[in-house]
Structure 1
Protein backbone atom coordinates (compact mmCIF):
# COMPACT_ATOMS: atom_id res chain seq x y z
CA UNK A 1 0.00 0.00 0.00
CA UNK A 2 1.28 3.46 -0.92
CA UNK A 3 0.17 6.90 0.25
CA UNK A 4 -0.35 10.09 -1.74
CA UNK A 5 -1.63 13.61 -1.24
CA UNK A 6 -3.87 14.95 -4.01
CA UNK A 7 -4.84 18.62 -4.33
CA UNK A 8 -8.20 19.74 -5.70
CA UNK A 9 -8.75 22.79 -7.89
CA UNK A 10 -10.02 24.71 -4.85
CA UNK A 11 -6.92 23.94 -2.78
CA UNK A 12 -8.14 21.06 -0.59
CA UNK A 13 -5.48 18.44 0.10
CA UNK A 14 -6.80 14.88 0.06
CA UNK A 15 -5.12 11.92 1.75
CA UNK A 16 -5.17 8.86 -0.53
CA UNK A 17 -3.94 5.27 -0.48
CA UNK A 18 -3.09 3.06 -3.43
CA UNK A 19 -3.51 -0.71 -3.15
CA UNK A 20 -1.53 -2.69 -5.74
CA UNK A 21 -1.61 -6.40 -6.57
CA UNK A 22 1.31 -8.57 -5.51
CA UNK A 23 1.06 -10.32 -8.87
CA UNK A 24 3.00 -8.30 -11.46
CA UNK A 25 0.28 -8.97 -14.05
CA UNK A 26 -1.62 -5.85 -13.12
CA UNK A 27 -5.10 -5.22 -14.53
CA UNK A 28 -5.45 -2.24 -16.85
CA UNK A 29 -8.35 -0.95 -14.74
CA UNK A 30 -8.16 1.11 -11.55
CA UNK A 31 -10.99 1.14 -9.02
CA UNK A 32 -11.56 4.43 -7.16
CA UNK A 33 -13.64 3.97 -4.00
CA UNK A 34 -15.71 6.78 -2.46
CA UNK A 35 -16.46 6.39 1.25
CA UNK A 36 -19.74 6.98 3.17
CA UNK A 37 -21.00 10.32 4.53
CA UNK A 38 -18.19 12.28 6.17
CA UNK A 39 -20.63 14.12 8.44
CA UNK A 40 -21.58 10.79 10.04
CA UNK A 41 -17.99 9.61 10.43
CA UNK A 42 -17.25 8.24 6.97
CA UNK A 43 -13.59 7.96 5.97
CA UNK A 44 -11.45 5.90 3.62
CA UNK A 45 -10.56 3.27 6.22
CA UNK A 46 -14.10 1.88 5.93
CA UNK A 47 -13.24 0.73 2.40
CA UNK A 48 -9.84 -0.76 3.15
CA UNK A 49 -11.17 -4.34 3.19
CA UNK A 50 -12.73 -3.96 -0.25
CA UNK A 51 -9.64 -2.22 -1.66
CA UNK A 52 -7.36 -4.95 -0.31
CA UNK A 53 -9.64 -7.63 -1.71
CA UNK A 54 -9.62 -6.00 -5.15
CA UNK A 55 -5.81 -5.88 -5.06
CA UNK A 56 -5.80 -9.60 -4.27
CA UNK A 57 -7.94 -10.07 -7.39
CA UNK A 58 -5.37 -8.24 -9.51
CA UNK A 59 -6.86 -4.74 -9.61
CA UNK A 60 -5.26 -1.52 -8.49
CA UNK A 61 -7.58 0.27 -6.05
CA UNK A 62 -7.51 3.79 -4.62
CA UNK A 63 -9.23 5.01 -1.46
CA UNK A 64 -9.16 8.58 -0.20
CA UNK A 65 -10.53 10.80 2.54
CA UNK A 66 -12.94 13.35 1.15
CA UNK A 67 -12.62 16.92 2.40
CA UNK A 68 -12.94 17.16 6.16
CA UNK A 69 -12.48 13.41 6.68
CA UNK A 70 -9.43 11.63 8.11
CA UNK A 71 -6.23 13.43 7.19
CA UNK A 72 -7.71 15.53 4.40
CA UNK A 73 -8.06 19.29 4.77
CA UNK A 74 -11.19 21.31 4.16
CA UNK A 75 -14.71 21.01 5.51
CA UNK A 76 -17.40 18.51 4.55
CA UNK A 77 -20.72 19.58 3.05
CA UNK A 78 -24.15 18.23 4.00
CA UNK A 79 -25.29 17.70 0.40
CA UNK A 80 -22.07 16.21 -1.02
CA UNK A 81 -21.74 18.72 -3.85
CA UNK A 82 -18.35 20.10 -2.77
CA UNK A 83 -17.10 16.52 -2.57
CA UNK A 84 -17.74 15.94 -6.28
CA UNK A 85 -14.60 17.99 -6.90
CA UNK A 86 -12.69 15.61 -4.62
CA UNK A 87 -13.71 12.63 -6.74
CA UNK A 88 -12.80 14.45 -9.96
CA UNK A 89 -9.38 15.43 -8.58
CA UNK A 90 -8.58 11.88 -7.47
CA UNK A 91 -9.65 10.40 -10.81
CA UNK A 92 -7.55 12.96 -12.70
CA UNK A 93 -4.56 12.05 -10.52
CA UNK A 94 -5.18 8.35 -11.14
CA UNK A 95 -5.40 8.95 -14.88
CA UNK A 96 -2.18 11.01 -14.96
CA UNK A 97 -0.18 8.86 -12.52
CA UNK A 98 -1.35 5.27 -12.95
CA UNK A 99 -2.27 5.44 -16.67
CA UNK A 100 -5.21 3.01 -16.50
CA UNK A 101 -7.17 1.64 -19.42
CA UNK A 102 -10.19 2.88 -17.54
CA UNK A 103 -11.42 3.90 -14.09
CA UNK A 104 -14.33 2.23 -12.32
CA UNK A 105 -15.95 4.44 -9.68
CA UNK A 106 -17.41 2.70 -6.63
CA UNK A 107 -19.46 4.67 -4.12
CA UNK A 108 -20.57 3.34 -0.74
CA UNK A 109 -23.73 4.72 0.91
CA UNK A 110 -23.59 8.55 0.62
CA UNK A 111 -20.45 8.06 -1.44
CA UNK A 112 -22.67 6.54 -4.15
CA UNK A 113 -24.55 9.74 -5.08
CA UNK A 114 -21.33 11.76 -4.86
CA UNK A 115 -19.52 9.34 -7.15
CA UNK A 116 -22.56 9.20 -9.43
CA UNK A 117 -22.47 12.95 -9.93
CA UNK A 118 -18.81 12.73 -10.95
CA UNK A 119 -19.13 9.89 -13.49
CA UNK A 120 -19.73 12.01 -16.60
CA UNK A 121 -17.27 14.69 -15.50
CA UNK A 122 -14.37 12.26 -16.00
CA UNK A 123 -13.76 10.83 -19.47
CA UNK A 124 -11.59 7.99 -18.13
CA UNK A 125 -14.43 6.58 -15.99
CA UNK A 126 -15.84 3.58 -17.86
CA UNK A 127 -18.21 2.17 -15.24
CA UNK A 128 -19.94 2.85 -11.93
CA UNK A 129 -20.85 0.67 -8.95
CA UNK A 130 -23.21 1.77 -6.17
CA UNK A 131 -23.11 -0.01 -2.81
CA UNK A 132 -26.31 1.02 -1.02
CA UNK A 133 -27.36 4.15 -2.92
CA UNK A 134 -29.67 6.19 -0.61
CA UNK A 135 -32.61 6.70 -2.99
CA UNK A 136 -35.24 6.80 -0.22
CA UNK A 137 -37.42 9.80 0.58
CA UNK A 138 -35.62 10.94 3.76
CA UNK A 139 -32.13 10.55 2.26
CA UNK A 140 -33.28 12.42 -0.83
CA UNK A 141 -33.60 15.60 1.22
CA UNK A 142 -29.80 15.69 1.27
CA UNK A 143 -28.86 13.77 -1.87
CA UNK A 144 -31.86 14.02 -4.19
CA UNK A 145 -30.19 16.53 -6.51
CA UNK A 146 -27.51 13.94 -7.29
CA UNK A 147 -29.94 11.38 -8.72
CA UNK A 148 -30.33 12.79 -12.22
CA UNK A 149 -26.60 12.75 -13.00
CA UNK A 150 -26.12 9.01 -12.65
CA UNK A 151 -29.55 8.06 -14.01
CA UNK A 152 -28.96 9.93 -17.28
CA UNK A 153 -25.37 8.70 -17.72
CA UNK A 154 -24.90 6.25 -20.58
CA UNK A 155 -21.98 4.55 -18.81
CA UNK A 156 -22.53 0.99 -17.44
CA UNK A 157 -23.93 0.93 -13.91
CA UNK A 158 -24.30 -1.69 -11.18
CA UNK A 159 -26.48 -1.07 -8.11
CA UNK A 160 -25.93 -3.36 -5.10
CA UNK A 161 -28.37 -3.17 -2.17
CA UNK A 162 -29.69 -5.24 0.70
CA UNK A 163 -33.40 -5.96 0.67
CA UNK A 164 -33.62 -4.67 4.26
CA UNK A 165 -31.83 -1.38 3.51
CA UNK A 166 -33.24 1.18 5.95
CA UNK A 167 -32.75 4.14 3.59
CA UNK A 168 -34.13 2.71 0.35
CA UNK A 169 -36.75 0.05 -0.28
CA UNK A 170 -36.45 -2.41 -3.16
CA UNK A 171 -39.49 -0.78 -4.76
CA UNK A 172 -37.91 2.69 -4.50
CA UNK A 173 -34.72 1.37 -6.11
CA UNK A 174 -36.62 -0.29 -8.94
CA UNK A 175 -38.77 2.78 -9.58
CA UNK A 176 -35.71 5.02 -9.78
CA UNK A 177 -33.84 2.72 -12.14
CA UNK A 178 -36.76 2.57 -14.59
CA UNK A 179 -35.61 5.92 -15.96
CA UNK A 180 -31.89 5.07 -16.00
CA UNK A 181 -30.08 5.29 -19.33
CA UNK A 182 -27.60 2.80 -20.75
CA UNK A 183 -26.71 -0.56 -19.26
CA UNK A 184 -28.08 -0.98 -15.73
CA UNK A 185 -27.69 -4.01 -13.45
CA UNK A 186 -28.86 -4.67 -9.90
CA UNK A 187 -27.78 -7.18 -7.27
CA UNK A 188 -30.03 -7.58 -4.22
CA UNK A 189 -28.75 -9.20 -1.01
CA UNK A 190 -31.69 -10.94 0.62
CA UNK A 191 -32.38 -9.89 4.22
CA UNK A 192 -29.33 -7.62 4.48
CA UNK A 193 -29.51 -4.11 5.98
CA UNK A 194 -27.71 -0.93 4.89
CA UNK A 195 -25.06 -0.79 7.59
CA UNK A 196 -24.77 -4.57 7.66
CA UNK A 197 -23.72 -4.55 4.01
CA UNK A 198 -21.14 -1.85 4.80
CA UNK A 199 -19.56 -4.09 7.45
CA UNK A 200 -16.44 -6.22 6.96
CA UNK A 201 -18.46 -9.45 6.79
CA UNK A 202 -19.63 -8.44 3.31
CA UNK A 203 -16.33 -7.07 1.96
CA UNK A 204 -15.47 -10.28 0.11
CA UNK A 205 -18.93 -10.38 -1.50
CA UNK A 206 -18.61 -6.75 -2.61
CA UNK A 207 -15.17 -7.56 -4.07
CA UNK A 208 -16.64 -10.44 -6.07
CA UNK A 209 -19.48 -8.32 -7.45
CA UNK A 210 -17.15 -5.43 -8.39
CA UNK A 211 -14.67 -7.83 -10.01
CA UNK A 212 -17.38 -9.52 -12.05
CA UNK A 213 -18.65 -6.12 -13.20
CA UNK A 214 -15.19 -5.04 -14.33
CA UNK A 215 -14.67 -8.32 -16.17
CA UNK A 216 -17.97 -7.74 -17.99
CA UNK A 217 -16.65 -4.37 -19.21
CA UNK A 218 -13.75 -6.16 -20.87
CA UNK A 219 -15.96 -8.56 -22.85
Structure 2
Protein backbone atom coordinates (compact mmCIF):
# COMPACT_ATOMS: atom_id res chain seq x y z
CA UNK A 1 0.00 0.00 0.00
CA UNK A 2 2.77 2.41 0.94
CA UNK A 3 4.66 1.63 -2.26
CA UNK A 4 1.58 2.54 -4.31
CA UNK A 5 1.14 5.92 -2.59
CA UNK A 6 3.66 7.90 -4.73
CA UNK A 7 2.07 6.52 -7.89
CA UNK A 8 -1.41 7.50 -6.63
CA UNK A 9 -0.20 11.00 -5.77
CA UNK A 10 1.31 11.47 -9.23
CA UNK A 11 -1.87 10.37 -10.93
CA UNK A 12 -4.21 12.32 -8.62
CA UNK A 13 -2.44 15.62 -8.14
CA UNK A 14 -5.58 17.73 -7.80
CA UNK A 15 -7.04 15.39 -5.19
CA UNK A 16 -3.71 15.33 -3.36
CA UNK A 17 -3.54 19.13 -3.31
CA UNK A 18 -7.12 19.33 -2.06
CA UNK A 19 -6.43 16.83 0.71
CA UNK A 20 -3.25 18.66 1.70
CA UNK A 21 -5.11 21.97 1.82
CA UNK A 22 -7.89 20.40 3.89
CA UNK A 23 -5.32 18.98 6.30
CA UNK A 24 -3.74 22.42 6.73
CA UNK A 25 -7.13 24.07 7.33
CA UNK A 26 -8.10 21.44 9.91
CA UNK A 27 -4.73 21.71 11.66
CA UNK A 28 -4.82 25.52 11.83
CA UNK A 29 -8.38 25.52 13.17
CA UNK A 30 -7.53 22.84 15.73
CA UNK A 31 -4.58 24.93 16.87
CA UNK A 32 -6.78 28.06 17.11
CA UNK A 33 -9.41 26.12 19.08
CA UNK A 34 -6.73 24.92 21.51
CA UNK A 35 -5.33 28.45 21.97
CA UNK A 36 -8.79 29.92 22.53
CA UNK A 37 -9.50 27.26 25.15
CA UNK A 38 -6.18 27.86 26.91
CA UNK A 39 -6.74 31.63 27.01
CA UNK A 40 -10.26 31.43 28.43
CA UNK A 41 -10.10 28.39 30.74
CA UNK A 42 -7.94 28.76 33.84
CA UNK A 43 -5.60 25.92 34.82
CA UNK A 44 -5.79 24.45 38.32
CA UNK A 45 -2.20 25.41 39.12
CA UNK A 46 1.22 25.91 37.55
CA UNK A 47 3.20 28.95 36.43
CA UNK A 48 1.58 31.60 34.28
CA UNK A 49 3.03 32.08 30.79
CA UNK A 50 4.94 35.36 30.64
CA UNK A 51 4.17 38.24 28.31
CA UNK A 52 5.60 38.29 24.76
CA UNK A 53 8.38 40.72 25.71
CA UNK A 54 9.69 38.33 28.36
CA UNK A 55 9.76 35.22 26.15
CA UNK A 56 12.70 33.93 24.15
CA UNK A 57 12.28 32.81 20.55
CA UNK A 58 12.17 29.18 21.69
CA UNK A 59 9.58 29.97 24.36
CA UNK A 60 7.43 31.83 21.84
CA UNK A 61 7.58 28.82 19.50
CA UNK A 62 6.56 26.54 22.37
CA UNK A 63 3.62 28.78 23.24
CA UNK A 64 2.47 28.74 19.62
CA UNK A 65 2.46 24.94 19.64
CA UNK A 66 1.06 24.28 23.11
CA UNK A 67 -0.89 27.43 24.05
CA UNK A 68 -0.53 29.69 27.06
CA UNK A 69 -0.82 28.47 30.63
CA UNK A 70 -3.07 30.65 32.74
CA UNK A 71 -3.67 29.42 36.30
CA UNK A 72 -6.79 30.66 38.08
CA UNK A 73 -5.94 34.10 39.53
CA UNK A 74 -5.44 33.79 43.28
CA UNK A 75 -5.58 36.33 46.08
CA UNK A 76 -2.02 37.52 46.74
CA UNK A 77 -2.73 40.47 49.05
CA UNK A 78 -5.67 41.81 51.04
CA UNK A 79 -6.62 45.38 51.99
CA UNK A 80 -4.99 44.76 55.37
CA UNK A 81 -1.56 44.85 53.69
CA UNK A 82 -2.43 48.35 52.50
CA UNK A 83 -3.57 49.49 55.93
CA UNK A 84 -7.24 49.33 54.94
CA UNK A 85 -10.05 47.86 57.01
CA UNK A 86 -12.44 45.72 54.98
CA UNK A 87 -15.32 43.28 54.99
CA UNK A 88 -15.61 40.15 52.86
CA UNK A 89 -18.92 39.77 51.05
CA UNK A 90 -20.25 36.86 49.03
CA UNK A 91 -23.31 36.96 46.80
CA UNK A 92 -24.83 34.78 44.09
CA UNK A 93 -26.20 35.68 40.66
CA UNK A 94 -29.49 34.44 39.26
CA UNK A 95 -27.52 31.91 37.20
CA UNK A 96 -25.82 30.47 40.28
CA UNK A 97 -22.39 32.09 40.00
CA UNK A 98 -20.89 32.80 43.41
CA UNK A 99 -18.92 36.03 43.76
CA UNK A 100 -16.50 37.28 46.38
CA UNK A 101 -15.90 40.97 46.99
CA UNK A 102 -14.15 43.22 49.48
CA UNK A 103 -15.88 46.30 50.85
CA UNK A 104 -13.43 48.98 51.99
CA UNK A 105 -15.37 51.60 54.01
CA UNK A 106 -14.47 55.28 54.22
CA UNK A 107 -15.41 57.72 57.00
CA UNK A 108 -17.84 60.37 55.77
CA UNK A 109 -17.89 58.68 52.37
CA UNK A 110 -18.81 60.76 49.34
CA UNK A 111 -20.04 57.67 47.55
CA UNK A 112 -19.27 54.10 46.52
CA UNK A 113 -16.97 53.07 43.67
CA UNK A 114 -17.18 49.47 42.43
CA UNK A 115 -13.86 48.24 41.03
CA UNK A 116 -13.36 45.54 38.40
CA UNK A 117 -10.04 43.91 37.48
CA UNK A 118 -8.45 42.97 34.17
CA UNK A 119 -7.93 39.71 32.27
CA UNK A 120 -6.08 37.01 34.18
CA UNK A 121 -6.14 39.05 37.40
CA UNK A 122 -8.26 39.28 40.54
CA UNK A 123 -9.33 41.90 43.05
CA UNK A 124 -5.88 41.93 44.70
CA UNK A 125 -4.66 43.87 41.65
CA UNK A 126 -7.05 46.72 42.53
CA UNK A 127 -5.75 47.49 46.02
CA UNK A 128 -3.69 50.49 44.90
CA UNK A 129 -6.78 52.03 43.34
CA UNK A 130 -8.85 51.20 46.44
CA UNK A 131 -6.37 53.09 48.60
CA UNK A 132 -6.39 56.05 46.21
CA UNK A 133 -10.20 56.13 46.15
CA UNK A 134 -10.29 56.17 49.94
CA UNK A 135 -7.92 59.15 49.96
CA UNK A 136 -10.37 60.86 47.60
CA UNK A 137 -13.14 60.20 50.13
CA UNK A 138 -14.85 57.19 48.54
CA UNK A 139 -15.60 53.72 49.85
CA UNK A 140 -14.96 50.88 47.41
CA UNK A 141 -16.21 47.43 46.52
CA UNK A 142 -13.53 45.27 44.86
CA UNK A 143 -15.12 42.44 42.90
CA UNK A 144 -13.73 39.15 41.61
CA UNK A 145 -15.14 38.28 38.20
CA UNK A 146 -16.33 34.72 37.58
CA UNK A 147 -13.39 32.34 37.50
CA UNK A 148 -11.07 34.67 39.44
CA UNK A 149 -9.93 34.98 43.05
CA UNK A 150 -12.64 33.94 45.48
CA UNK A 151 -15.42 33.69 42.89
CA UNK A 152 -16.63 30.39 41.47
CA UNK A 153 -15.68 28.89 38.12
CA UNK A 154 -12.51 28.62 36.02
CA UNK A 155 -13.50 30.44 32.83
CA UNK A 156 -13.34 33.94 31.37
CA UNK A 157 -15.10 35.33 28.32
CA UNK A 158 -12.86 38.43 27.95
CA UNK A 159 -15.54 40.80 29.22
CA UNK A 160 -18.66 39.49 27.47
CA UNK A 161 -20.34 37.44 30.22
CA UNK A 162 -18.42 39.45 32.81
CA UNK A 163 -20.85 42.26 32.01
CA UNK A 164 -23.43 40.15 33.86
CA UNK A 165 -21.02 40.07 36.81
CA UNK A 166 -20.96 43.87 36.78
CA UNK A 167 -24.76 43.91 36.90
CA UNK A 168 -24.81 41.40 39.78
CA UNK A 169 -22.26 43.46 41.72
CA UNK A 170 -24.22 46.67 41.21
CA UNK A 171 -27.42 45.01 42.36
CA UNK A 172 -25.65 43.73 45.47
CA UNK A 173 -24.16 47.17 46.17
CA UNK A 174 -27.53 48.94 45.88
CA UNK A 175 -29.17 46.26 48.03
CA UNK A 176 -26.58 46.08 50.81
CA UNK A 177 -24.21 49.06 50.75
CA UNK A 178 -25.67 52.24 49.31
CA UNK A 179 -28.88 53.99 48.33
CA UNK A 180 -27.07 56.11 45.74
CA UNK A 181 -25.98 55.14 42.23
CA UNK A 182 -22.36 53.95 42.40
CA UNK A 183 -19.33 54.91 40.38
CA UNK A 184 -17.93 52.05 38.28
CA UNK A 185 -14.22 51.71 37.63
CA UNK A 186 -12.76 48.99 35.39
CA UNK A 187 -9.31 48.22 34.03
CA UNK A 188 -8.71 46.48 30.68
CA UNK A 189 -11.22 43.58 30.53
CA UNK A 190 -12.95 45.15 33.52
CA UNK A 191 -13.42 48.36 31.52
CA UNK A 192 -14.89 46.36 28.63
CA UNK A 193 -17.31 44.56 30.97
CA UNK A 194 -18.39 47.87 32.52
CA UNK A 195 -19.09 49.45 29.12
CA UNK A 196 -21.07 46.42 27.95
CA UNK A 197 -23.02 46.22 31.23
CA UNK A 198 -24.09 49.86 31.06
CA UNK A 199 -24.88 49.70 27.33
CA UNK A 200 -26.97 46.54 27.51
CA UNK A 201 -28.73 46.98 30.85
CA UNK A 202 -30.77 49.60 32.66
CA UNK A 203 -28.01 50.34 35.18
CA UNK A 204 -28.23 53.52 37.19
CA UNK A 205 -24.67 54.72 37.75
CA UNK A 206 -23.12 58.05 38.68
CA UNK A 207 -20.16 57.86 36.28
CA UNK A 208 -17.58 55.51 34.78
CA UNK A 209 -13.79 55.47 34.94
CA UNK A 210 -12.55 53.03 32.29
CA UNK A 211 -8.89 52.25 31.74
CA UNK A 212 -7.51 50.65 28.57
CA UNK A 213 -10.67 49.15 27.05
CA UNK A 214 -10.00 47.52 23.68
CA UNK A 215 -12.13 48.76 20.79
CA UNK A 216 -12.86 45.36 19.23
CA UNK A 217 -12.04 41.86 20.43
CA UNK A 218 -10.41 41.08 17.11
CA UNK A 219 -8.20 44.18 17.44
CA UNK A 220 -6.77 43.20 20.81
CA UNK A 221 -6.27 39.67 19.52
CA UNK A 222 -4.34 41.04 16.55
CA UNK A 223 -2.23 43.19 18.89
CA UNK A 224 -1.14 40.06 20.77
CA UNK A 225 0.18 38.51 17.55
CA UNK A 226 2.01 41.73 16.64
CA UNK A 227 3.63 41.69 20.09
CA UNK A 228 4.93 38.19 19.30
CA UNK A 229 6.35 39.46 16.01
CA UNK A 230 3.86 37.37 14.02
CA UNK A 231 1.28 38.15 11.31
CA UNK A 232 -2.20 38.41 12.79
CA UNK A 233 -4.29 37.22 9.83
CA UNK A 234 -5.98 34.74 9.83
CA UNK A 235 -4.95 33.48 13.26
CA UNK A 236 -6.43 36.36 15.29
CA UNK A 237 -9.76 35.97 13.49
CA UNK A 238 -9.79 32.21 14.11
CA UNK A 239 -8.95 32.76 17.77
CA UNK A 240 -11.87 35.17 18.13
CA UNK A 241 -14.21 32.81 16.27
CA UNK A 242 -13.41 29.71 18.33
CA UNK A 243 -13.30 31.63 21.59
CA UNK A 244 -16.80 32.91 20.90
CA UNK A 245 -18.03 29.43 19.99
CA UNK A 246 -16.68 28.02 23.25
CA UNK A 247 -18.45 30.68 25.32
CA UNK A 248 -21.70 31.04 23.41
CA UNK A 249 -21.36 34.40 21.68
CA UNK A 250 -19.99 35.97 18.51
CA UNK A 251 -16.53 37.33 19.21
CA UNK A 252 -16.81 39.57 16.16
CA UNK A 253 -19.72 41.39 17.83
CA UNK A 254 -17.92 41.92 21.14
CA UNK A 255 -16.92 45.51 20.43
CA UNK A 256 -16.70 48.24 23.12
CA UNK A 257 -16.47 50.83 20.33
CA UNK A 258 -20.11 49.92 19.61
CA UNK A 259 -21.15 49.59 23.26
CA UNK A 260 -19.91 53.17 23.76
CA UNK A 261 -22.70 54.50 21.55
CA UNK A 262 -25.24 53.50 24.23
CA UNK A 263 -23.30 54.83 27.22
CA UNK A 264 -24.64 58.29 28.05
CA UNK A 265 -23.39 58.77 31.62
CA UNK A 266 -20.18 60.76 32.31
CA UNK A 267 -17.06 58.75 31.40
CA UNK A 268 -13.36 59.24 32.07
CA UNK A 269 -11.28 57.10 29.69
CA UNK A 270 -7.63 56.54 30.64
CA UNK A 271 -4.93 54.91 28.51
CA UNK A 272 -1.15 54.65 28.35
CA UNK A 273 0.73 56.03 25.36
CA UNK A 274 2.88 52.87 25.18
CA UNK A 275 0.00 50.41 25.53
CA UNK A 276 0.61 47.69 22.93
CA UNK A 277 -2.66 45.90 23.73
CA UNK A 278 -4.84 49.00 23.25
CA UNK A 279 -3.30 51.61 20.96
CA UNK A 280 -4.00 55.33 21.26
CA UNK A 281 -6.01 55.19 18.04
CA UNK A 282 -8.15 52.35 19.38
CA UNK A 283 -8.71 54.15 22.70
CA UNK A 284 -9.75 57.29 20.84
CA UNK A 285 -12.24 55.35 18.72
CA UNK A 286 -14.02 54.16 21.88
CA UNK A 287 -13.88 57.65 23.38
CA UNK A 288 -15.32 59.34 20.29
CA UNK A 289 -18.35 57.04 20.32
CA UNK A 290 -19.28 57.69 23.95
CA UNK A 291 -22.68 59.36 23.97
CA UNK A 292 -22.45 61.46 27.15
CA UNK A 293 -20.03 63.86 28.84
CA UNK A 294 -16.53 62.50 28.55
CA UNK A 295 -12.84 63.07 29.14
CA UNK A 296 -9.81 61.32 27.64
CA UNK A 297 -6.46 61.28 29.43
CA UNK A 298 -3.27 59.64 28.17
CA UNK A 299 -0.45 58.69 30.54
CA UNK A 300 2.90 59.29 28.86
CA UNK A 301 5.30 56.33 28.83
CA UNK A 302 2.78 53.93 30.37
CA UNK A 303 2.01 50.54 28.84
CA UNK A 304 -0.83 48.09 29.46
CA UNK A 305 -0.65 48.44 33.22
CA UNK A 306 -2.23 50.30 36.10
CA UNK A 307 -2.03 54.01 35.36
CA UNK A 308 -2.61 54.70 39.06
CA UNK A 309 0.45 52.64 39.97
CA UNK A 310 2.50 54.22 37.18
CA UNK A 311 1.71 57.84 38.08
CA UNK A 312 -0.36 58.13 41.24
CA UNK A 313 -0.30 61.94 41.37
CA UNK A 314 -1.54 62.38 37.80
CA UNK A 315 -4.19 59.69 38.30
CA UNK A 316 -5.50 61.42 41.43
CA UNK A 317 -5.54 64.83 39.74
CA UNK A 318 -7.42 63.70 36.64
CA UNK A 319 -9.93 61.56 38.58
CA UNK A 320 -10.61 64.35 41.10
CA UNK A 321 -11.13 66.87 38.29
CA UNK A 322 -13.40 64.48 36.43
CA UNK A 323 -15.52 63.86 39.53
CA UNK A 324 -15.79 67.60 40.13
CA UNK A 325 -17.00 68.22 36.57
CA UNK A 326 -19.31 65.19 36.60
CA UNK A 327 -20.95 66.54 39.74
CA UNK A 328 -21.55 70.00 38.27
Q: Give the TM-score band, short-chain normalised.
A: 0.7 to 0.9
Q: Which has the larger displacement, 78-87 or 47-56?
A: 78-87
SS where residue 194 of structure 1 aligns? coil
Q: Which has the higher strand share?
A: 1
Q: Is the 1:66–1:72 Cα contact (8 Å) retained in structure 2? A: yes
SS where residue 42 of structure 1 aligns? coil
Distance 1:54 1:146, change over 3 A: same
Task: Find the partner of 1:124 among 178, 187, 204.
Answer: 204
Q: For each residue in 1:42-76, what CA deviation from the matched residue of structure 2 results, as whole angstroms up to 9, or x when unmatched?
A: 10000011112211221011101111101111232
Distance 1:102 1:193, change over 3 A: same
State the Cα distance separating 1:208 from its structure 2 match.
4.1
* Equivalent position of 2:248 in the other structure: none
Give the 5 Å matches for 1:19-58.
19-21=104-106, 23=107, 25-27=108-110, 29-37=111-119, 41-58=120-137
Q: TM-score, normalised by structure 1?
A: 0.86
Q: For each residue in 1:72-130, what CA deviation from the matched residue of structure 2 results, as whole angstroms up to 9, or x when unmatched?
A: 11232333222111111110111111224221111101111111111242432121111
* Equivalent position of 2:275 in the other structure: 165
Q: CA RMSD in A?
A: 2.2
* Equivalent position of 1:93 in the other structure: 172
Q: Distance in 1 between matches of 2:259 and 2:99?
A: 24
Matched, 1:180 2:295: no
Runs of 4+ aligned residues of structure 1 deviating over 4 Å after TM superposition are 140-144
Distance 1:173 1:114, change over 3 A: same
Q: Could you say which structure has the greater relative contact order, defined with CA pairs below 8 angstroms and 6 or more residues apart?
A: 1
Q: Distance in 1 between matches of 2:252 and 2:322?
A: 25
Q: Is the 1:104–1:125 Cα contact (8 Å) retained in structure 2? A: yes
Q: Which has the larger displacement, 42-51 or 202-211?
A: 202-211
SS where residue 117 of structure 1 aligns? helix
Larger Rg: 2
Q: TM-score, normalised by structure 2?
A: 0.59
Q: For each residue in 1:25-55, what CA deviation from the matched residue of structure 2 results, as whole angstroms up to 9, or x when unmatched?
A: 221x211111001xxx310000011112211
State the Cα distance separating 1:18 from its structure 2 match.
0.6
Q: Distance in 2 between matches of 1:149 and 1:45?
A: 27
Q: Is the 1:3–1:18 Cα contact (8 Å) retained in structure 2? A: yes
**Runs of 5+ unmatched residues, structure 2:** 1-85, 222-239, 241-250
* Equivalent position of 1:82 in the other structure: 161
Distance 1:207 1:46, change over 3 A: farther
Q: Is the 2:184–2:207 Cα contact (8 Å) retained in structure 1? A: yes
